Amino acid sequence: MTSIWLDEVAPDNRRALEENMTADVAIVGAGIAGIATAYHLARAGAKPVVLEARTVADAASGRNAGFLLAGVAENFVAATRRYGEARALRIWRFTRHNQDLVREIVAREGIACDLAWNGSAQIAGDDEEWTEVRESADRLRKESVRVLLVPEERAAIYEDDGEFHPVRYVRALAGAAVAAGARIYDRTRAIAVTTSEVRTERARVRASVVVVCVNAYSQHLVPLRVRPVRGQMLATAPVGRRVFERPAYANRGYRYWRQRADGRLLAGGWRDTAADEEVGEEERTTPRIQDQLERFLRERCPETNVTHRWAGIMGFSHDALPYVGRLDSGVFVNAGFTGHGMAFATATGELIADLVRDKKRSETDLFAPERA
Protein backbone atom coordinates (compact mmCIF):
# COMPACT_ATOMS: atom_id res chain seq x y z
CA MET A 1 0.00 0.00 0.00
CA THR A 2 1.25 3.55 -0.73
CA SER A 3 2.50 5.69 2.14
CA ILE A 4 0.30 8.60 3.14
CA TRP A 5 3.06 11.00 2.11
CA LEU A 6 3.33 9.62 -1.42
CA ASP A 7 -0.45 9.35 -1.72
CA GLU A 8 -0.83 13.07 -1.05
CA VAL A 9 1.71 14.41 -3.56
CA ALA A 10 1.62 13.82 -7.31
CA PRO A 11 4.94 12.63 -8.78
CA ASP A 12 6.92 15.12 -10.83
CA ASN A 13 6.89 12.77 -13.85
CA ARG A 14 10.37 13.70 -14.97
CA ARG A 15 11.59 11.98 -18.11
CA ALA A 16 14.01 9.07 -18.19
CA LEU A 17 17.54 9.43 -19.53
CA GLU A 18 17.70 8.00 -23.05
CA GLU A 19 21.01 9.35 -24.39
CA ASN A 20 24.63 9.54 -23.24
CA MET A 21 25.61 12.76 -21.53
CA THR A 22 28.27 14.50 -19.43
CA ALA A 23 27.99 16.27 -16.07
CA ASP A 24 30.17 17.89 -13.44
CA VAL A 25 28.86 15.38 -10.88
CA ALA A 26 26.72 12.28 -11.45
CA ILE A 27 24.51 11.39 -8.47
CA VAL A 28 22.74 8.04 -8.23
CA GLY A 29 19.56 8.17 -6.16
CA ALA A 30 16.90 10.85 -5.72
CA GLY A 31 15.96 10.40 -2.09
CA ILE A 32 16.81 13.01 0.50
CA ALA A 33 20.56 12.20 0.33
CA GLY A 34 20.87 12.48 -3.44
CA ILE A 35 18.60 15.50 -3.75
CA ALA A 36 20.31 17.38 -0.90
CA THR A 37 23.69 16.64 -2.49
CA ALA A 38 22.46 17.96 -5.84
CA TYR A 39 20.94 21.05 -4.22
CA HIS A 40 24.10 22.06 -2.39
CA LEU A 41 26.29 21.37 -5.43
CA ALA A 42 24.05 23.35 -7.75
CA ARG A 43 23.98 26.32 -5.37
CA ALA A 44 27.80 26.19 -5.35
CA GLY A 45 27.86 26.49 -9.15
CA ALA A 46 28.21 22.86 -10.24
CA LYS A 47 25.94 21.19 -12.81
CA PRO A 48 24.99 17.83 -11.26
CA VAL A 49 22.89 15.13 -12.90
CA VAL A 50 20.71 12.91 -10.66
CA LEU A 51 19.59 9.46 -11.82
CA GLU A 52 16.70 7.75 -10.03
CA ALA A 53 15.39 4.23 -10.64
CA ARG A 54 11.88 5.20 -9.49
CA THR A 55 10.76 8.79 -8.86
CA VAL A 56 11.97 11.45 -6.44
CA ALA A 57 11.42 10.41 -2.79
CA ASP A 58 9.64 7.20 -3.84
CA ALA A 59 11.67 4.88 -1.60
CA ALA A 60 12.60 5.35 2.09
CA SER A 61 12.49 9.15 1.84
CA GLY A 62 8.76 8.90 1.17
CA ARG A 63 8.04 6.13 3.66
CA ASN A 64 9.31 7.41 7.01
CA ALA A 65 7.66 9.27 9.90
CA GLY A 66 8.85 12.76 8.94
CA PHE A 67 10.77 13.36 12.18
CA LEU A 68 13.53 15.99 12.48
CA LEU A 69 15.30 14.80 15.63
CA ALA A 70 18.72 15.64 17.02
CA GLY A 71 21.11 12.80 17.74
CA VAL A 72 21.06 9.14 16.75
CA ALA A 73 18.40 6.54 17.51
CA GLU A 74 19.96 5.78 20.90
CA ASN A 75 19.74 8.16 23.83
CA PHE A 76 22.82 10.28 24.46
CA VAL A 77 24.19 8.10 27.28
CA ALA A 78 23.97 5.01 25.08
CA ALA A 79 25.56 6.96 22.20
CA THR A 80 28.39 8.00 24.53
CA ARG A 81 29.06 4.38 25.43
CA ARG A 82 29.22 3.49 21.74
CA TYR A 83 31.18 6.43 20.33
CA GLY A 84 32.81 8.14 23.32
CA GLU A 85 31.50 11.41 24.73
CA ALA A 86 33.48 13.77 22.51
CA ARG A 87 32.41 12.00 19.33
CA ALA A 88 28.79 11.65 20.50
CA LEU A 89 28.67 15.42 21.09
CA ARG A 90 30.05 16.09 17.60
CA ILE A 91 27.36 13.84 16.11
CA TRP A 92 24.67 15.61 18.15
CA ARG A 93 25.88 19.00 16.91
CA PHE A 94 25.91 17.77 13.33
CA THR A 95 22.25 16.77 13.57
CA ARG A 96 21.42 20.12 15.14
CA HIS A 97 23.11 21.71 12.13
CA ASN A 98 20.89 19.52 9.94
CA GLN A 99 17.82 20.98 11.66
CA ASP A 100 19.14 24.51 11.15
CA LEU A 101 19.79 23.80 7.47
CA VAL A 102 16.26 22.49 6.95
CA ARG A 103 14.84 25.59 8.61
CA GLU A 104 16.99 27.86 6.41
CA ILE A 105 16.22 26.02 3.17
CA VAL A 106 12.47 25.90 3.80
CA ALA A 107 12.48 29.65 4.38
CA ARG A 108 14.80 30.48 1.47
CA GLU A 109 13.01 28.30 -1.08
CA GLY A 110 9.49 28.89 0.22
CA ILE A 111 8.88 25.16 0.70
CA ALA A 112 5.41 24.23 1.96
CA CYS A 113 6.04 20.99 3.83
CA ASP A 114 4.12 21.42 7.12
CA LEU A 115 7.36 22.08 8.98
CA ALA A 116 6.70 22.49 12.72
CA TRP A 117 8.93 22.65 15.76
CA ASN A 118 6.79 21.11 18.50
CA GLY A 119 9.62 19.16 20.09
CA SER A 120 9.81 15.40 20.53
CA ALA A 121 9.35 12.95 23.38
CA GLN A 122 12.03 10.35 24.08
CA ILE A 123 10.19 7.70 26.08
CA ALA A 124 11.86 4.92 28.07
CA GLY A 125 10.62 1.37 27.66
CA ASP A 126 12.06 0.10 30.97
CA ASP A 127 13.79 1.27 34.14
CA GLU A 128 17.29 0.95 32.71
CA GLU A 129 16.42 3.10 29.75
CA TRP A 130 14.70 5.67 31.97
CA THR A 131 17.91 6.04 33.96
CA GLU A 132 19.78 6.65 30.71
CA VAL A 133 17.15 9.11 29.48
CA ARG A 134 17.43 11.13 32.69
CA GLU A 135 21.23 11.13 32.60
CA SER A 136 21.19 12.09 28.91
CA ALA A 137 18.97 15.08 29.64
CA ASP A 138 21.23 16.21 32.49
CA ARG A 139 24.34 15.99 30.29
CA LEU A 140 22.82 17.72 27.27
CA ARG A 141 21.50 20.61 29.37
CA LYS A 142 25.19 21.51 29.86
CA GLU A 143 25.31 21.99 26.08
CA SER A 144 22.39 24.44 26.25
CA VAL A 145 19.95 21.83 24.92
CA ARG A 146 16.36 22.65 25.89
CA VAL A 147 15.07 19.45 27.47
CA LEU A 148 12.34 18.82 30.04
CA LEU A 149 11.92 15.63 32.05
CA VAL A 150 8.42 14.20 32.64
CA PRO A 151 8.92 11.46 35.28
CA GLU A 152 5.31 10.24 35.29
CA GLU A 153 5.69 9.39 31.59
CA ARG A 154 9.34 8.30 31.84
CA ALA A 155 10.00 10.79 29.06
CA ALA A 156 12.36 13.59 28.09
CA ILE A 157 10.91 16.36 25.93
CA TYR A 158 13.48 17.82 23.51
CA GLU A 159 11.91 21.16 22.76
CA ASP A 160 13.83 22.05 19.58
CA ASP A 161 13.00 18.94 17.53
CA GLY A 162 10.75 19.14 14.50
CA GLU A 163 8.47 17.32 12.09
CA PHE A 164 7.41 17.78 8.48
CA HIS A 165 5.95 16.21 5.34
CA PRO A 166 8.99 14.39 3.93
CA VAL A 167 7.76 14.02 0.35
CA ARG A 168 6.73 17.66 0.04
CA TYR A 169 10.13 18.65 1.39
CA VAL A 170 12.26 16.40 -0.82
CA ARG A 171 10.31 17.07 -4.02
CA ALA A 172 10.35 20.83 -3.43
CA LEU A 173 14.08 20.60 -2.72
CA ALA A 174 14.46 18.76 -6.02
CA GLY A 175 12.68 21.61 -7.77
CA ALA A 176 15.01 24.11 -6.11
CA ALA A 177 18.03 22.05 -7.20
CA VAL A 178 16.79 22.06 -10.80
CA ALA A 179 16.23 25.82 -10.65
CA ALA A 180 19.86 26.17 -9.53
CA GLY A 181 21.18 24.09 -12.43
CA ALA A 182 20.75 20.40 -11.59
CA ARG A 183 19.13 17.89 -13.92
CA ILE A 184 17.07 14.98 -12.60
CA TYR A 185 16.02 11.88 -14.53
CA ASP A 186 13.38 9.48 -13.17
CA ARG A 187 12.96 5.81 -14.06
CA THR A 188 16.64 5.59 -14.91
CA ARG A 189 18.24 2.69 -13.07
CA ALA A 190 22.02 2.72 -12.63
CA ILE A 191 23.54 -0.70 -13.17
CA ALA A 192 27.27 0.08 -12.70
CA VAL A 193 29.47 2.94 -11.52
CA THR A 194 33.14 3.91 -11.75
CA THR A 195 34.94 7.03 -10.55
CA SER A 196 34.01 8.83 -13.78
CA GLU A 197 30.95 7.10 -15.20
CA VAL A 198 27.48 5.82 -14.38
CA ARG A 199 26.05 3.19 -16.70
CA THR A 200 22.29 2.83 -16.88
CA GLU A 201 20.11 0.38 -18.78
CA ARG A 202 19.93 2.75 -21.76
CA ALA A 203 22.72 5.32 -21.50
CA ARG A 204 25.96 6.42 -19.85
CA VAL A 205 26.80 9.55 -17.90
CA ARG A 206 30.42 10.71 -17.85
CA ALA A 207 31.34 12.92 -14.89
CA SER A 208 34.29 14.27 -12.97
CA VAL A 209 32.79 12.84 -9.77
CA VAL A 210 30.28 10.06 -9.08
CA VAL A 211 28.24 10.00 -5.85
CA VAL A 212 26.14 6.95 -4.89
CA CYS A 213 23.15 7.86 -2.70
CA VAL A 214 20.96 4.74 -2.79
CA ASN A 215 21.17 3.87 0.93
CA ALA A 216 19.67 0.39 1.44
CA TYR A 217 20.51 -0.60 -2.14
CA SER A 218 24.18 0.47 -2.02
CA GLN A 219 25.57 -3.05 -2.30
CA HIS A 220 24.23 -3.29 -5.84
CA LEU A 221 26.72 -0.61 -6.92
CA VAL A 222 29.53 -0.24 -4.37
CA PRO A 223 31.13 -2.40 -1.63
CA LEU A 224 29.50 -0.54 1.25
CA ARG A 225 28.60 -2.09 4.61
CA VAL A 226 24.89 -1.34 4.37
CA ARG A 227 22.25 -3.86 5.45
CA PRO A 228 18.67 -3.49 4.13
CA VAL A 229 16.10 -3.51 6.95
CA ARG A 230 12.35 -3.12 6.54
CA GLY A 231 10.36 -0.56 8.53
CA GLN A 232 6.56 -0.54 8.62
CA MET A 233 4.03 2.19 9.36
CA LEU A 234 0.34 2.97 9.22
CA ALA A 235 -1.79 6.11 9.22
CA THR A 236 -5.39 6.80 10.17
CA ALA A 237 -8.21 9.07 9.11
CA PRO A 238 -8.27 12.46 10.88
CA VAL A 239 -9.20 12.34 14.56
CA GLY A 240 -11.10 15.27 16.08
CA ARG A 241 -9.09 15.44 19.30
CA ARG A 242 -5.46 15.73 20.27
CA VAL A 243 -4.09 12.26 21.08
CA PHE A 244 -0.35 12.95 20.86
CA GLU A 245 1.13 16.37 21.64
CA ARG A 246 4.38 15.82 19.76
CA PRO A 247 6.33 13.14 17.89
CA ALA A 248 7.48 10.33 20.17
CA TYR A 249 10.45 8.00 19.93
CA ALA A 250 10.20 5.11 22.39
CA ASN A 251 11.79 1.84 23.46
CA ARG A 252 15.27 2.75 22.23
CA GLY A 253 13.90 4.03 18.97
CA TYR A 254 12.09 0.85 17.99
CA ARG A 255 8.65 2.46 18.31
CA TYR A 256 7.52 5.88 17.16
CA TRP A 257 4.34 7.82 16.54
CA ARG A 258 2.96 11.29 15.91
CA GLN A 259 -0.26 13.16 15.15
CA ARG A 260 -0.32 15.52 12.20
CA ALA A 261 -1.91 18.97 12.28
CA ASP A 262 -4.86 17.56 10.29
CA GLY A 263 -5.59 15.05 13.10
CA ARG A 264 -4.24 11.92 11.40
CA LEU A 265 -2.34 9.51 13.64
CA LEU A 266 0.81 7.75 12.44
CA ALA A 267 2.65 4.87 14.07
CA GLY A 268 5.68 2.88 13.03
CA GLY A 269 8.33 0.45 14.17
CA TRP A 270 7.85 -2.58 16.44
CA ARG A 271 10.57 -4.17 14.28
CA ASP A 272 12.19 -5.56 17.43
CA THR A 273 9.28 -8.00 17.79
CA ALA A 274 10.12 -9.65 14.46
CA ALA A 275 13.77 -8.75 13.91
CA ASP A 276 14.66 -11.79 11.79
CA GLU A 277 11.71 -11.22 9.45
CA GLU A 278 12.29 -7.50 8.93
CA VAL A 279 15.52 -7.83 6.94
CA GLY A 280 15.91 -7.57 3.18
CA GLU A 281 14.66 -5.51 0.25
CA GLU A 282 11.06 -6.75 0.06
CA GLU A 283 8.87 -3.66 0.43
CA ARG A 284 5.74 -5.21 1.93
CA THR A 285 3.69 -5.03 5.09
CA THR A 286 3.14 -8.02 7.37
CA PRO A 287 0.20 -8.83 9.68
CA ARG A 288 2.55 -9.45 12.61
CA ILE A 289 3.81 -5.85 12.66
CA GLN A 290 0.69 -4.14 11.36
CA ASP A 291 -1.52 -5.75 14.01
CA GLN A 292 0.74 -4.36 16.75
CA LEU A 293 0.76 -0.87 15.24
CA GLU A 294 -3.02 -0.86 14.97
CA ARG A 295 -3.48 -2.24 18.48
CA PHE A 296 -1.25 0.49 19.90
CA LEU A 297 -3.28 3.26 18.24
CA ARG A 298 -6.66 1.76 19.11
CA GLU A 299 -5.69 1.55 22.78
CA ARG A 300 -5.22 5.32 22.72
CA CYS A 301 -7.92 6.22 20.23
CA PRO A 302 -10.58 3.51 19.82
CA GLU A 303 -12.54 5.49 17.24
CA THR A 304 -9.70 5.70 14.73
CA ASN A 305 -9.84 4.11 11.25
CA VAL A 306 -6.72 2.98 9.40
CA THR A 307 -6.40 4.43 5.90
CA HIS A 308 -2.80 3.65 4.90
CA ARG A 309 -0.35 0.83 5.57
CA TRP A 310 3.12 0.74 4.07
CA ALA A 311 6.70 -0.43 4.33
CA GLY A 312 10.04 1.12 3.42
CA ILE A 313 13.56 -0.27 3.25
CA MET A 314 16.14 1.40 5.49
CA GLY A 315 19.91 1.14 5.07
CA PHE A 316 21.68 0.18 8.31
CA SER A 317 25.41 0.82 8.73
CA HIS A 318 27.75 -1.22 10.91
CA ASP A 319 27.81 1.41 13.68
CA ALA A 320 24.51 3.28 13.11
CA LEU A 321 26.24 6.31 11.55
CA PRO A 322 26.01 7.23 7.87
CA TYR A 323 28.82 6.68 5.38
CA VAL A 324 29.70 10.02 3.82
CA GLY A 325 32.81 10.54 1.76
CA ARG A 326 35.14 8.94 -0.78
CA LEU A 327 35.70 5.20 -1.01
CA ASP A 328 39.17 3.88 -1.80
CA SER A 329 37.86 3.22 -5.32
CA GLY A 330 37.33 6.96 -5.79
CA VAL A 331 33.52 6.80 -5.83
CA PHE A 332 31.79 9.04 -3.28
CA VAL A 333 28.91 7.76 -1.12
CA ASN A 334 26.18 9.32 1.03
CA ALA A 335 24.25 6.44 2.59
CA GLY A 336 23.74 4.12 5.58
CA PHE A 337 21.42 6.34 7.63
CA THR A 338 20.09 3.52 9.84
CA GLY A 339 16.53 4.83 9.82
CA HIS A 340 17.53 8.47 10.46
CA GLY A 341 17.97 9.91 6.99
CA MET A 342 15.89 12.99 7.71
CA ALA A 343 18.04 13.73 10.78
CA PHE A 344 21.28 13.67 8.80
CA ALA A 345 20.93 13.89 5.04
CA THR A 346 20.30 17.57 4.37
CA ALA A 347 23.61 18.20 6.18
CA THR A 348 25.47 15.19 4.74
CA GLY A 349 24.46 16.44 1.29
CA GLU A 350 26.18 19.72 2.17
CA LEU A 351 29.19 17.78 3.46
CA ILE A 352 29.53 15.75 0.24
CA ALA A 353 29.15 18.91 -1.87
CA ASP A 354 32.06 20.42 0.06
CA LEU A 355 34.20 17.28 -0.15
CA VAL A 356 33.88 16.86 -3.92
CA ARG A 357 34.95 20.51 -4.26
CA ASP A 358 38.00 19.85 -2.03
CA LYS A 359 36.68 22.05 0.75
CA LYS A 360 37.97 20.95 4.14
CA ARG A 361 35.39 19.98 6.76
CA SER A 362 36.02 18.99 10.37
CA GLU A 363 33.27 16.32 10.31
CA THR A 364 34.92 14.18 7.62
CA ASP A 365 36.30 11.62 10.06
CA LEU A 366 32.93 11.09 11.77
CA PHE A 367 31.36 9.51 8.71
CA ALA A 368 34.37 8.24 6.70
CA PRO A 369 32.92 5.32 4.70
CA GLU A 370 35.83 2.95 5.29
CA ARG A 371 36.23 3.68 9.02
CA ALA A 372 36.82 0.86 11.47
> Per residue in 152-209, pLDDT tens?
999 999 999 999 999 999 999 999 999 999 999 999 999 999 999 999 999 999 999 9
Handedness of CA 170, 3, 212, 75 (dihedral sign): positive
Contact yes or no for 30/184 (Cβ under 8 A): yes
3-state DSSP call for residue 333?
Answer: strand
Instruction: Grade residue 13 by pLDDT with cuts at 50, 70 and 90.
Output: confident
Residue 237 confidence (pLDDT): 98
Count of C-beta atoms within a 10 Å radius of residue 103: 15
The arithmetic mean of pLDDT across residues 213-230, rounded, is: 98
- pTM for the complete prediction? 0.97
Question: Within 13 Å, how many C-alpha atoms sit on residue 243's CB side?
Answer: 24
3-state DSSP call for residue 177?
Answer: helix
In residues, how long is the chain?
372
The arithmetic mean of pLDDT across residues 266-293, rounded, is: 96
* Tens of pLDDT, residues 328-358: 999 999 999 999 999 999 999 999 999 999 9
The CATH T-level fold of domain 14-119+161-226+317-372 is FAD/NAD(P)-binding domain (3.50.50)
Domain boundaries, given as residue ranges, for the chain: 14-119+161-226+317-372
Residue 65 confidence (pLDDT): 98
